[in-house]
Amino acid sequence: MTLRTKLLLWFIVLHLALAAGAVLILMEHQEWLFAVELGFVVSIVVSYRMVNALFVPLELIRTGAELINERDFTSRFVPIGQPEMDRLIGIYNLMIDRLREERLAAEEQQHLLQKIVEASPSGIVICNFEGAVQQANPAAERLLREPAVAASLPSLEAGQSRLMTLAGARRLKISRTEFRDRGFPKTFYLLEELTEELRLTEKTAYEKLIRMMSHEVNNSVGAVRSLLESVLHYAEQVGPEDRDDFTSALTIAAARIESLNRFMTGFADVVRLPPPHPRDVDLGPIVDDIGRLLRPELENHAIVLKTDIPAGTRVRVDQSQFEQVIINVIRNAVESIGECGEIEVRWRDGVLSIADSGHGIDASATEEMFTPFFTTKREGRGLGLTIVSEILTNHHLPFSLTNREEGGAEFRVTFGS
Protein backbone atom coordinates (compact mmCIF):
# COMPACT_ATOMS: atom_id res chain seq x y z
CA MET A 1 0.00 0.00 0.00
CA THR A 2 1.38 3.39 -1.00
CA LEU A 3 1.79 6.32 1.35
CA ARG A 4 -0.82 8.26 -0.66
CA THR A 5 -3.39 5.49 -0.14
CA LYS A 6 -2.61 5.30 3.57
CA LEU A 7 -3.16 9.05 3.99
CA LEU A 8 -6.42 8.95 2.02
CA LEU A 9 -7.68 6.07 4.17
CA TRP A 10 -6.71 7.98 7.27
CA PHE A 11 -8.69 11.03 6.18
CA ILE A 12 -11.69 8.84 5.27
CA VAL A 13 -11.66 7.09 8.68
CA LEU A 14 -11.24 10.47 10.41
CA HIS A 15 -14.18 11.96 8.51
CA LEU A 16 -16.34 8.89 9.19
CA ALA A 17 -15.61 9.30 12.89
CA LEU A 18 -16.48 12.96 12.69
CA ALA A 19 -19.61 12.09 10.74
CA ALA A 20 -20.72 9.69 13.48
CA GLY A 21 -20.19 12.40 16.06
CA ALA A 22 -22.03 14.91 13.90
CA VAL A 23 -25.05 12.55 13.63
CA LEU A 24 -25.27 12.40 17.38
CA ILE A 25 -25.16 16.18 17.58
CA LEU A 26 -27.69 16.69 14.79
CA MET A 27 -30.19 14.46 16.56
CA GLU A 28 -30.46 17.20 19.17
CA HIS A 29 -29.67 20.26 16.99
CA GLN A 30 -31.11 19.68 13.50
CA GLU A 31 -30.65 23.34 12.55
CA TRP A 32 -26.90 22.73 12.27
CA LEU A 33 -27.31 20.24 9.38
CA PHE A 34 -26.38 22.63 6.61
CA ALA A 35 -23.32 23.94 8.47
CA VAL A 36 -22.10 20.41 9.28
CA GLU A 37 -22.52 19.25 5.65
CA LEU A 38 -20.70 22.33 4.40
CA GLY A 39 -17.91 21.71 6.89
CA PHE A 40 -17.59 18.10 5.76
CA VAL A 41 -17.36 19.10 2.08
CA VAL A 42 -14.78 21.80 2.81
CA SER A 43 -12.76 19.41 5.02
CA ILE A 44 -12.79 16.66 2.38
CA VAL A 45 -11.73 19.07 -0.41
CA VAL A 46 -9.01 20.63 1.73
CA SER A 47 -7.74 17.21 2.80
CA TYR A 48 -7.64 15.97 -0.80
CA ARG A 49 -5.77 19.04 -1.99
CA MET A 50 -3.34 18.82 0.91
CA VAL A 51 -2.62 15.18 0.06
CA ASN A 52 -2.01 16.11 -3.57
CA ALA A 53 0.14 19.09 -2.56
CA LEU A 54 2.13 16.85 -0.25
CA PHE A 55 2.86 14.29 -2.98
CA VAL A 56 3.60 16.66 -5.86
CA PRO A 57 7.27 17.08 -4.77
CA LEU A 58 7.56 13.33 -4.44
CA GLU A 59 6.14 12.90 -7.95
CA LEU A 60 8.58 15.50 -9.18
CA ILE A 61 11.48 13.66 -7.57
CA ARG A 62 10.29 10.33 -9.00
CA THR A 63 9.91 11.75 -12.50
CA GLY A 64 13.28 13.50 -12.28
CA ALA A 65 14.95 10.28 -11.09
CA GLU A 66 13.47 8.37 -14.04
CA LEU A 67 14.74 11.01 -16.49
CA ILE A 68 18.23 10.89 -14.94
CA ASN A 69 18.19 7.09 -15.01
CA GLU A 70 17.34 7.28 -18.73
CA ARG A 71 20.16 9.81 -19.19
CA ASP A 72 17.68 12.40 -20.45
CA PHE A 73 19.38 15.68 -19.54
CA THR A 74 17.32 17.80 -21.94
CA SER A 75 13.93 17.77 -20.13
CA ARG A 76 13.31 20.63 -17.70
CA PHE A 77 10.37 21.32 -15.33
CA VAL A 78 8.28 24.49 -15.58
CA PRO A 79 7.59 26.52 -12.37
CA ILE A 80 3.99 26.16 -11.16
CA GLY A 81 3.72 29.26 -8.96
CA GLN A 82 4.20 27.56 -5.57
CA PRO A 83 7.29 28.93 -3.78
CA GLU A 84 8.36 25.60 -2.27
CA MET A 85 7.81 23.70 -5.52
CA ASP A 86 9.40 26.40 -7.63
CA ARG A 87 12.57 26.28 -5.48
CA LEU A 88 12.72 22.50 -5.90
CA ILE A 89 12.14 22.81 -9.65
CA GLY A 90 14.85 25.46 -9.89
CA ILE A 91 17.35 23.22 -8.10
CA TYR A 92 16.44 20.27 -10.36
CA ASN A 93 16.73 22.36 -13.55
CA LEU A 94 20.13 23.72 -12.43
CA MET A 95 21.35 20.20 -11.69
CA ILE A 96 20.14 18.94 -15.08
CA ASP A 97 21.84 21.85 -16.89
CA ARG A 98 25.15 21.08 -15.16
CA LEU A 99 24.86 17.37 -15.90
CA ARG A 100 24.12 18.16 -19.55
CA GLU A 101 27.11 20.51 -19.78
CA GLU A 102 29.40 17.98 -18.09
CA ARG A 103 28.21 15.20 -20.37
CA LEU A 104 28.73 17.39 -23.42
CA ALA A 105 32.24 18.33 -22.21
CA ALA A 106 33.03 14.65 -21.50
CA GLU A 107 31.80 13.65 -24.97
CA GLU A 108 33.89 16.39 -26.59
CA GLN A 109 36.97 15.33 -24.60
CA GLN A 110 36.33 11.69 -25.48
CA HIS A 111 35.98 12.61 -29.15
CA LEU A 112 39.19 14.66 -29.02
CA LEU A 113 41.01 11.84 -27.23
CA GLN A 114 39.77 9.36 -29.82
CA LYS A 115 41.04 11.58 -32.66
CA ILE A 116 44.42 11.97 -30.94
CA VAL A 117 44.69 8.21 -30.42
CA GLU A 118 43.80 7.51 -34.05
CA ALA A 119 46.29 10.10 -35.35
CA SER A 120 49.07 9.07 -32.96
CA PRO A 121 52.18 7.67 -34.69
CA SER A 122 52.61 5.41 -31.67
CA GLY A 123 50.54 2.25 -31.48
CA ILE A 124 47.94 2.17 -28.67
CA VAL A 125 46.24 -1.10 -27.73
CA ILE A 126 43.44 -1.14 -25.13
CA CYS A 127 42.36 -4.48 -23.64
CA ASN A 128 39.10 -5.50 -22.01
CA PHE A 129 38.79 -6.81 -18.47
CA GLU A 130 39.71 -10.32 -19.64
CA GLY A 131 42.93 -9.08 -21.29
CA ALA A 132 41.80 -9.50 -24.90
CA VAL A 133 42.37 -6.67 -27.38
CA GLN A 134 39.35 -4.37 -27.30
CA GLN A 135 40.60 -1.43 -29.35
CA ALA A 136 43.71 -0.61 -31.39
CA ASN A 137 44.51 2.55 -33.31
CA PRO A 138 45.71 2.35 -36.96
CA ALA A 139 49.40 2.49 -35.96
CA ALA A 140 48.91 -0.43 -33.57
CA GLU A 141 46.98 -2.43 -36.18
CA ARG A 142 49.93 -2.15 -38.58
CA LEU A 143 52.40 -3.27 -35.91
CA LEU A 144 50.19 -6.13 -34.69
CA ARG A 145 50.43 -7.70 -38.15
CA GLU A 146 53.92 -8.75 -37.02
CA PRO A 147 53.35 -12.09 -35.25
CA ALA A 148 56.28 -11.45 -32.90
CA VAL A 149 54.69 -8.19 -31.66
CA ALA A 150 51.27 -9.72 -30.96
CA ALA A 151 52.88 -12.70 -29.21
CA SER A 152 55.03 -10.51 -26.95
CA LEU A 153 52.18 -8.45 -25.45
CA PRO A 154 50.83 -10.97 -22.89
CA SER A 155 54.35 -11.73 -21.61
CA LEU A 156 54.82 -8.19 -20.28
CA GLU A 157 54.05 -7.36 -16.66
CA ALA A 158 52.27 -4.14 -15.66
CA GLY A 159 54.74 -1.24 -15.73
CA GLN A 160 57.28 -3.23 -17.76
CA SER A 161 58.85 -2.16 -21.08
CA ARG A 162 60.72 -4.15 -23.71
CA LEU A 163 62.81 -3.24 -26.76
CA MET A 164 62.53 -5.68 -29.65
CA THR A 165 63.98 -5.82 -33.15
CA LEU A 166 61.75 -6.50 -36.16
CA ALA A 167 62.64 -7.40 -39.71
CA GLY A 168 64.63 -4.74 -41.52
CA ALA A 169 66.49 -3.39 -38.46
CA ARG A 170 63.30 -1.87 -37.09
CA ARG A 171 63.32 -1.25 -33.33
CA LEU A 172 60.12 -1.26 -31.32
CA LYS A 173 59.56 -0.33 -27.67
CA ILE A 174 56.55 -2.01 -26.04
CA SER A 175 55.24 -0.69 -22.71
CA ARG A 176 52.39 -2.05 -20.60
CA THR A 177 50.38 0.16 -18.25
CA GLU A 178 47.15 -0.25 -16.31
CA PHE A 179 44.26 2.14 -15.66
CA ARG A 180 40.97 1.76 -13.80
CA ASP A 181 37.63 1.61 -15.54
CA ARG A 182 34.55 1.62 -13.27
CA GLY A 183 36.78 0.58 -10.41
CA PHE A 184 38.40 -2.41 -12.17
CA PRO A 185 41.91 -2.55 -13.71
CA LYS A 186 42.28 -2.58 -17.48
CA THR A 187 45.46 -2.89 -19.52
CA PHE A 188 46.75 -0.83 -22.41
CA TYR A 189 49.97 -1.13 -24.40
CA LEU A 190 52.03 1.62 -25.99
CA LEU A 191 54.01 0.60 -29.09
CA GLU A 192 56.69 3.14 -30.03
CA GLU A 193 58.77 2.76 -33.17
CA LEU A 194 62.28 3.91 -32.23
CA THR A 195 64.06 2.81 -35.40
CA GLU A 196 65.06 6.24 -36.62
CA GLU A 197 65.93 7.64 -33.19
CA LEU A 198 68.17 4.69 -32.32
CA ARG A 199 69.70 4.65 -35.79
CA LEU A 200 70.66 8.32 -35.55
CA THR A 201 72.02 7.83 -32.02
CA GLU A 202 74.12 4.86 -33.11
CA LYS A 203 75.24 6.69 -36.24
CA THR A 204 76.38 9.73 -34.25
CA ALA A 205 78.30 7.47 -31.86
CA TYR A 206 80.11 5.39 -34.47
CA GLU A 207 80.82 8.40 -36.71
CA LYS A 208 82.57 10.12 -33.81
CA LEU A 209 84.52 6.94 -33.03
CA ILE A 210 85.51 6.36 -36.65
CA ARG A 211 86.66 9.95 -37.15
CA MET A 212 88.80 9.76 -34.03
CA MET A 213 90.27 6.39 -35.06
CA SER A 214 90.89 7.54 -38.62
CA HIS A 215 92.66 10.67 -37.45
CA GLU A 216 94.99 8.81 -35.09
CA VAL A 217 95.66 5.87 -37.43
CA ASN A 218 96.22 8.01 -40.53
CA ASN A 219 98.71 10.19 -38.70
CA SER A 220 100.65 7.12 -37.58
CA VAL A 221 100.34 5.28 -40.91
CA GLY A 222 101.67 8.23 -42.91
CA ALA A 223 104.66 8.68 -40.67
CA VAL A 224 105.50 4.96 -40.47
CA ARG A 225 105.12 4.48 -44.23
CA SER A 226 107.48 7.39 -44.87
CA LEU A 227 110.04 5.92 -42.44
CA LEU A 228 109.83 2.47 -44.04
CA GLU A 229 110.33 3.89 -47.53
CA SER A 230 113.34 5.87 -46.27
CA VAL A 231 114.85 2.83 -44.56
CA LEU A 232 114.48 0.74 -47.72
CA HIS A 233 116.98 3.05 -49.43
CA TYR A 234 119.63 1.67 -47.07
CA ALA A 235 119.13 -1.91 -48.29
CA GLU A 236 122.29 -1.71 -50.43
CA GLN A 237 124.31 -0.89 -47.34
CA VAL A 238 123.22 -4.08 -45.58
CA GLY A 239 125.41 -7.14 -45.95
CA PRO A 240 124.47 -9.59 -48.73
CA GLU A 241 123.69 -12.33 -46.23
CA ASP A 242 121.10 -10.10 -44.39
CA ARG A 243 119.87 -7.99 -47.29
CA ASP A 244 116.98 -10.25 -48.32
CA ASP A 245 115.70 -10.58 -44.76
CA PHE A 246 116.03 -6.81 -44.30
CA THR A 247 114.12 -6.03 -47.47
CA SER A 248 111.50 -8.72 -46.81
CA ALA A 249 110.81 -7.48 -43.29
CA LEU A 250 110.37 -3.89 -44.40
CA THR A 251 108.18 -4.93 -47.35
CA ILE A 252 105.91 -6.99 -45.08
CA ALA A 253 105.70 -4.11 -42.61
CA ALA A 254 104.80 -1.72 -45.43
CA ALA A 255 102.14 -4.16 -46.66
CA ARG A 256 100.61 -4.41 -43.19
CA ILE A 257 100.58 -0.61 -42.92
CA GLU A 258 98.79 -0.43 -46.28
CA SER A 259 96.31 -3.10 -45.09
CA LEU A 260 95.65 -1.07 -41.94
CA ASN A 261 95.08 2.00 -44.11
CA ARG A 262 92.53 0.11 -46.24
CA PHE A 263 90.90 -1.19 -43.07
CA MET A 264 90.37 2.32 -41.77
CA THR A 265 89.25 3.54 -45.19
CA GLY A 266 86.44 0.97 -45.05
CA PHE A 267 85.27 2.47 -41.76
CA ALA A 268 85.54 6.00 -43.10
CA ASP A 269 83.38 5.08 -46.12
CA VAL A 270 80.40 4.67 -43.77
CA VAL A 271 80.87 8.18 -42.40
CA ARG A 272 81.40 9.72 -45.84
CA LEU A 273 78.33 8.11 -47.39
CA PRO A 274 76.74 10.96 -49.39
CA PRO A 275 73.00 11.61 -49.69
CA PRO A 276 71.45 9.58 -52.54
CA HIS A 277 70.56 11.14 -55.88
CA PRO A 278 67.80 8.83 -57.13
CA ARG A 279 66.86 8.51 -60.77
CA ASP A 280 64.95 5.93 -62.81
CA VAL A 281 67.24 3.07 -63.79
CA ASP A 282 66.77 -0.32 -65.44
CA LEU A 283 67.26 -2.97 -62.74
CA GLY A 284 68.04 -5.90 -65.06
CA PRO A 285 71.33 -4.59 -66.52
CA ILE A 286 72.50 -3.54 -63.03
CA VAL A 287 72.07 -7.08 -61.69
CA ASP A 288 73.69 -8.56 -64.82
CA ASP A 289 76.75 -6.30 -64.47
CA ILE A 290 77.13 -7.23 -60.81
CA GLY A 291 76.87 -10.92 -61.76
CA ARG A 292 79.73 -10.51 -64.27
CA LEU A 293 81.78 -8.60 -61.68
CA LEU A 294 81.37 -11.32 -59.04
CA ARG A 295 81.58 -14.31 -61.41
CA PRO A 296 85.20 -15.25 -60.56
CA GLU A 297 84.45 -15.09 -56.85
CA LEU A 298 81.29 -17.18 -57.28
CA GLU A 299 83.03 -19.77 -59.47
CA ASN A 300 85.82 -20.13 -56.89
CA HIS A 301 83.17 -21.18 -54.35
CA ALA A 302 81.13 -23.29 -56.81
CA ILE A 303 78.11 -21.03 -56.30
CA VAL A 304 75.50 -20.53 -59.01
CA LEU A 305 73.93 -17.07 -59.36
CA LYS A 306 70.43 -17.11 -60.85
CA THR A 307 68.63 -13.93 -61.88
CA ASP A 308 64.98 -13.42 -62.71
CA ILE A 309 64.38 -9.75 -63.43
CA PRO A 310 61.63 -9.08 -66.02
CA ALA A 311 62.74 -6.88 -68.91
CA GLY A 312 61.94 -3.22 -68.43
CA THR A 313 61.85 -3.36 -64.63
CA ARG A 314 62.71 0.16 -63.53
CA VAL A 315 63.39 1.46 -60.04
CA ARG A 316 64.17 4.91 -58.70
CA VAL A 317 67.50 4.71 -56.85
CA ASP A 318 71.00 6.13 -56.70
CA GLN A 319 72.57 3.57 -59.03
CA SER A 320 76.08 3.47 -57.56
CA GLN A 321 74.79 3.19 -53.98
CA PHE A 322 72.21 0.56 -54.88
CA GLU A 323 74.88 -1.48 -56.65
CA GLN A 324 76.81 -1.39 -53.39
CA VAL A 325 73.75 -2.76 -51.59
CA ILE A 326 73.39 -5.71 -53.99
CA ILE A 327 77.13 -6.49 -53.92
CA ASN A 328 77.25 -6.48 -50.11
CA VAL A 329 74.18 -8.73 -49.82
CA ILE A 330 75.46 -11.22 -52.41
CA ARG A 331 78.88 -11.36 -50.76
CA ASN A 332 77.22 -11.98 -47.41
CA ALA A 333 75.30 -14.83 -49.07
CA VAL A 334 78.55 -16.26 -50.49
CA GLU A 335 80.12 -16.27 -47.02
CA SER A 336 77.01 -17.93 -45.58
CA ILE A 337 77.04 -20.69 -48.23
CA GLY A 338 80.78 -21.35 -48.13
CA GLU A 339 81.06 -23.89 -50.93
CA CYS A 340 78.57 -25.30 -53.44
CA GLY A 341 75.29 -23.47 -53.32
CA GLU A 342 72.88 -21.17 -55.08
CA ILE A 343 71.92 -17.50 -54.95
CA GLU A 344 68.78 -16.26 -56.66
CA VAL A 345 68.04 -12.60 -57.41
CA ARG A 346 64.50 -12.01 -58.55
CA TRP A 347 61.78 -9.36 -58.87
CA ARG A 348 58.15 -10.05 -57.95
CA ASP A 349 55.33 -7.54 -57.40
CA GLY A 350 57.56 -4.60 -56.53
CA VAL A 351 59.90 -6.62 -54.31
CA LEU A 352 63.56 -7.37 -55.05
CA SER A 353 64.68 -10.49 -53.21
CA ILE A 354 68.12 -12.07 -52.88
CA ALA A 355 67.78 -15.62 -51.53
CA ASP A 356 70.59 -18.05 -50.77
CA SER A 357 70.98 -21.70 -49.79
CA GLY A 358 73.37 -20.97 -46.94
CA HIS A 359 73.18 -21.69 -43.22
CA GLY A 360 70.65 -18.93 -42.51
CA ILE A 361 70.70 -16.46 -39.65
CA ASP A 362 71.61 -17.63 -36.18
CA ALA A 363 68.84 -16.88 -33.67
CA SER A 364 71.30 -15.13 -31.35
CA ALA A 365 72.31 -12.72 -34.13
CA THR A 366 68.81 -11.80 -35.31
CA GLU A 367 68.50 -8.60 -33.24
CA GLU A 368 72.09 -7.45 -33.88
CA MET A 369 72.41 -7.95 -37.65
CA PHE A 370 72.26 -4.27 -38.57
CA THR A 371 74.10 -2.99 -35.50
CA PRO A 372 77.40 -1.22 -36.37
CA PHE A 373 80.55 -3.31 -35.70
CA PHE A 374 78.54 -6.47 -34.97
CA THR A 375 79.86 -9.46 -36.92
CA THR A 376 79.98 -13.23 -36.65
CA LYS A 377 83.05 -13.46 -38.90
CA ARG A 378 86.53 -13.77 -37.48
CA GLU A 379 87.95 -11.11 -39.80
CA GLY A 380 84.77 -9.10 -40.25
CA ARG A 381 84.33 -5.43 -39.42
CA GLY A 382 80.55 -5.46 -38.98
CA LEU A 383 79.95 -2.68 -41.50
CA GLY A 384 78.53 -4.46 -44.57
CA LEU A 385 74.92 -4.59 -43.41
CA THR A 386 75.34 -1.23 -41.67
CA ILE A 387 76.14 0.36 -45.05
CA VAL A 388 73.22 -1.53 -46.64
CA SER A 389 70.87 -0.32 -43.90
CA GLU A 390 72.12 3.27 -44.19
CA ILE A 391 71.71 3.39 -47.98
CA LEU A 392 68.21 1.86 -48.02
CA THR A 393 67.07 4.03 -45.10
CA ASN A 394 68.26 7.13 -46.96
CA HIS A 395 66.27 5.89 -49.97
CA HIS A 396 63.18 5.35 -47.72
CA LEU A 397 62.96 1.74 -48.94
CA PRO A 398 61.64 -0.89 -46.47
CA PHE A 399 63.87 -3.98 -46.24
CA SER A 400 64.16 -7.20 -44.27
CA LEU A 401 66.52 -10.12 -43.80
CA THR A 402 64.91 -13.36 -42.64
CA ASN A 403 65.42 -17.11 -42.71
CA ARG A 404 63.62 -19.17 -45.34
CA GLU A 405 61.55 -22.22 -44.46
CA GLU A 406 63.43 -24.30 -47.02
CA GLY A 407 66.79 -23.19 -45.58
CA GLY A 408 69.07 -20.24 -46.14
CA ALA A 409 68.23 -16.56 -45.85
CA GLU A 410 66.37 -14.02 -47.95
CA PHE A 411 66.98 -10.28 -48.22
CA ARG A 412 63.99 -8.29 -49.49
CA VAL A 413 63.71 -4.66 -50.62
CA THR A 414 60.19 -3.33 -51.18
CA PHE A 415 59.59 -0.60 -53.76
CA GLY A 416 56.55 1.59 -54.17
CA SER A 417 55.22 1.27 -50.60
* Burial degree of 288 (CB within 10 A; 0-12, 13-18, 19+): middle
Give the three-state DSSP class for 27. coil
Name residue 244's amino acid: D
Per-residue confidence (pLDDT) for residue 346, from 0 to 100 = 92
Give the three-state DSSP class for 154. coil
**What is the Cβ-side half-sphere exposure of residue 225, based on CA atoms within 13 angstroms?**
13
Q: Which helix (H) or strand (E) holds 401?
A: strand 399-403
Helical H segments across 70-187, by residue range: 83-119, 138-144, 147-152
> Rounded to an integer, what is the distance from CA 111 to the centroid of its chain?
21
Per-residue confidence (pLDDT) for residue 315, from 0 to 100 = 92
Query: What are the residue ranges in the chain where pLDDT is below 50?
Result: 380
Phi, psi of 304 (to 5 degrees): -95, 130
* Burial degree of 245 (CB within 10 A; 0-12, 13-18, 19+): exposed
Q: What is the 3-state secondary structure (H, E, C) of 209-262?
A: HHHHHHHHHHHHHHHHHHHHHHHHCCHHHCCHHHHHHHHHHHHHHHHHHHHHHH
Query: CA 350 to CA 366: how far, in whole Å?
Result: 25
Query: CA 377 to CA 99: how far, in whole Å?
Result: 70
Phi, psi of 276 (to 5 degrees): -75, 155
Pairing of strands 133-136, 314-317: unpaired
Given a contact cutoff of 8 angstroms between Cβ atoms, the answer to whether 170 and 197 are in contact is: no
Query: CA 169 to CA 400: how far, in whole Å?
Result: 7
Given a contact cutoff of 8 angstroms between Cβ atoms, the answer to whether 401 and 361 are in contact is: yes
Cβ neighbors of 231 (< 8 A, separation 6 or more) are 250
Query: CA 273 to CA 285: how far, in whole Å?
Result: 24
- pLDDT tens per residue across span 107-120: 888 788 778 777 77
Per-residue confidence (pLDDT) for residue 282, from 0 to 100 = 92
This prediction's pTM: 0.49
Q: Which helix (H) or strand (E) holds 304?
A: strand 303-308
Cβ neighbors of 65 (< 8 A, separation 6 or more) are none
What are the strands, taking DSSP E only, across 318-364?
Answer: 341-348, 351-356
Per-residue confidence (pLDDT) for residue 24, from 0 to 100 = 62
Beta bridge partners of 401: 411
